[in-house]
Structure 1
């Protein structure tokens, strides 16, 4: 069954699919039934919320718990789930149920959506992803529901458990705690912290990595990509946890008043959530500048390719670090886990990173012009959070002007799809060069 015209390349289809999903969500959120006051959201606020949910970011201009009715919250939750896994995942699932054949064009689109190496077994992988997602979100919901039941009624606890499990697994920062306080009341609660951290990490590894881990008992093989993602993720968590523990240890407004265990849990949570969940247990405005800068760095890196997370991705960061290390050592080849990285991957990593830097710098610059009166770090923090589809905020987002909101909407959209996907969607089909220019040399450094 053909879903899309042959003239549309996969990148254009992904861009159009997300854009349509956002517009439908925004339209639903303008309905009176979607808000608690029965008036519906203004279209710009609805568009911002729908974009944030579909792009699994979590930046909000209104408090989710106070502004929306049950219908509105369920619309947001649906957008988070579809946006996190990708609309093509759900389309494939529906067509499979209906007994429809998935064409080669659609398999190529799935490959593009999950950043997979080939179309081989891609439909089987999608089915496993859906089953895995239901299982993981269900386990997380049960644990959180049990814990929340000590603080609220059973019905509300179950609803909160499922809402936050789905939101967190998809690396979205939406919560129902009210007052823009996220999970700060559970900063030293091991059940909440460890459960949420697990959901963030699993959702941010990438579905191809999860598939390979599932197959490992049979194949006893893990690809270079998965090794890089797993190792880099572990190093970032461990390194960031130690640094945050040291930076905030004596801060009376964050880790200072907590026990040793509470300090460790708080540091662990904040080392994981910037990549790129958006929930927080420490008050963002009270963090030290060192922690804020580290948070910006982690938000820019993000999670794994083909995951629910954003950012330039940990594999991109790993390739860039390996390239720099090789150059400093005077080595000709870039090597990771005894494998030589091909030049195409290095150039792609450089392109993604430079595109990300230019986007963040440009958005920061524009925000500093259109939203005057704030410290520079607020502009940089908000721009990076939007690009990395993180959702952490220092409080600037609700105060944004209409232009500022449109700017952040576009940044979240670009961040979710990736600069390369948008670039390929806009540009003409690449052609092989018929000739090459004479080589030239430029002095560097």
Structure 2
């Protein structure tokens, strides 16, 4: 009996492994549904690789597509995609917890461990209460965004269609997915370019993207601020880094594109401001665009690559190396230049393990992006920046594209799909899932010195 129990325990999956397998099952299920003839407007089976790519992009809330969402997929196909976006954005364990709470099922210790891993939390304390808040905040914000978009679009289309578009895009934009249905109205792969200077659409979509990218921990912290009158260090770092990246990004993009006839050039002063802000917000891993990304100057495209690599914040619906990682690296650089031993943020000293994790994550992500870019440079006949842009967009689960995705080869589609999968789960989570179980070291080597610089 004891032997069988011991054997069984050897095959128990760790929380990272369950997350990887869970997301893979959801993607494969979605792909199977999207291959059905009822899912495509022409009534023909969609090739499995295209369906798999779309399901991966939706579940990993990326937005890169090989077929136009608004024209290729039927109502059935669009509903499948938006369900994948909702499940992928909030996390399948969060959705499973919702069902468990509805049927009054007790959340086990193992399920709490998985939730802790999924929400990127340091402990299990209050994890179920956090999940309740996550669901409440997500549904409230999505409903508010859907209502505003429905009212605006009801002036352009029948109310029923406006309501459907409002709800669909409210979910897509809050989850930072970037999928849209305007291909049948403004042309295939047009995204929100028809509303480049529309204040209501711009403000609503940007608000949804930013709120989805901040992370539910920060939203909860801000919501409780009136009672507690204080914010955690994590929230302060996320809010300040997000604000800086959006404002600084908008200024840089506006400066680079101000006279570009393919982007900001023809727009009014107000239109230039809206378009610059939107182009700075959307690399938070949203993927929607109001100006032609392929028409941007190369300097702007490369700057966007940097913003996409940084991405959103921990515990959010977005990807990238995260704003906190970016802030820690900047803090480390400043501390080293000033000759300080510790990294201090908002009068708080950071632990060494946080710094090591930030450096490890950044180099791991950089290696992945560079390696896949090199592979695609041999399989795709396009210039380097276009390939780098697409790979970074996939890793950051952004969804912005310079037009390469629909023309990818079979190998290219597989590689980009894998990058989206890794980007959504996080490189370290995947490494923990695939690597051996960590063991405590029984000894330490003597300290040595290596010359740097």
Give yes or no for TM over 0.5: yes
**Alpha carbon RMSD of aligned pairs, Å?**
1.1
Distance 1:61 1:426 in 2: 29
Task: Name the counterpart of 1:161.
Answer: 166
The corresponding residue for 1:200 is: 209
1-structure distance, mates of 2:434, 2:384: 32
Which whole-Å CA distance do the structure 1 matches of 2:400 and 2:169 have between them?
A: 15
CA contact (8 A) 1:116 1:208 kept: no
Write the distance in 2 (CA, Å) between the matches of 1:159 and 1:248: 34
> Counterparts of 1:417 and 1:220 in 2: how far apart (Å)?
33
- State how far apart, in whole Å, the 1-side matches of 2:445 and 2:125 are: 38
Aligned to 1:122: 127
Q: Secondary structure at the match of 1:282?
A: coil
2:20 to 15, 19, 43: 15
TM-score by length of 1: 0.98
Equivalent position of 2:244 in the other structure: 235
Counterpart of 1:443 in structure 2 is: 451
1:30 aligns with 2:39: no
Q: Return the alpha-carbon distance in structure 1 between the equivalents of residues 243 and 378 of structure 2.
A: 38
What secondary structure sits across from 1:285 in the alignment?
A: coil
User: C-alpha distance in 2, partners of 1:131/1:164?
Assistant: 18
How big is the shift at 1:222?
1.5
- Secondary structure in 1 aligned to 2:38? helix
Please list the CA deviations of residues 165-188 of structure 1 after superposition, one character each: whole Å capped at 9, or x if unmatched. Answer: 100000001100101010011010
Residues 168-211 of structure 1: per-residue CA shift (max 9 Å, x gap): 00000110010101001101000000100000000000111111
1:403-442 correspondence to structure 2 within 5 Å: 403-442=411-450
Gaps of 5+ in 1: none
Count of aligned positions: 441
User: Counterpart in 2 of 1:390?
Assistant: 398
1:86 corresponds to 2:86: no
The Cα shift of 1:219 comes to 2.1
Show CA shifts across 1:385-429 (max 9, x none): 000000000010000010100001110000000010001001111
Query: Whole-Å Cα distance in 1 between the matches of residues 269 and 71 of structure 2?
Result: 34
Task: Report the Cα distance in structure 1 between the residues aligned to 2:406 and 2:167, rounded to whole angstroms.
Answer: 26
Helix, strand or coil at the partner of 1:348: helix
Partner SS state of residue 294, structure 2: helix
Deviations 1:195-253 (A, max 9, x none): 00000000000111111112222222321111100000000011011111111111111
Structure 1 distance, partners of 2:80, 2:277, is: 31
* TM-score computed with the length of structure 2 as normaliser: 0.96
Contact conserved, 1:114 with 1:208, CA < 8 A, in 2?
A: no
- Selected match of 2:348 from 339, 353, 371: 339
Q: Is the Cα contact below 8 Å between 1:171 and 1:278 reproduced in 2? A: yes
Name the CA distance, whole Å, in 1 between partners of 2:225 and 2:113.
25
Q: Is the 8 A contact 1:248 1:254 kept in 2?
A: yes
Structure 1 residues 287-338: Cα deviation after superposition (integer angstroms, max 9, x where no partner): 0111111100000000110100100000000001100110111111111111
Tell me, yes or no, if structure 1 residue 140 matches structure 2 residue 149. no
Counterpart among 175, 179, 187 of residue 174 in structure 1: 179
Q: 4+ residue runs of structure 1 moved beyond 3 angstroms?
A: none
Structure 1 range deviating more: 17-26 or 216-225: 216-225
Look up the SS of the partner of 1:350 in the other structure: helix
**CA–CA distance in 2 between the matches of 1:389 and 1:443?**
38
Structure 2 residue 322 is the aligned partner of structure 1 residue 313? yes
| Partner Cα distance (1:158, 1:96) in 2 | 29
Q: Which residue of 2 is the match for residue 258 of structure 1? A: 267
Q: Distance in 1 between matches of 2:102 and 2:146?
A: 26
Structure 2 CA distance, aligned partners of 1:359 and 1:8? 25
Q: Does 1:75 align with 2:80?
A: yes
Pick from 289, 301, 305: which aligns with 2:310? 301
One of 63, 69, 77 as aligned partner of 2:68:
63
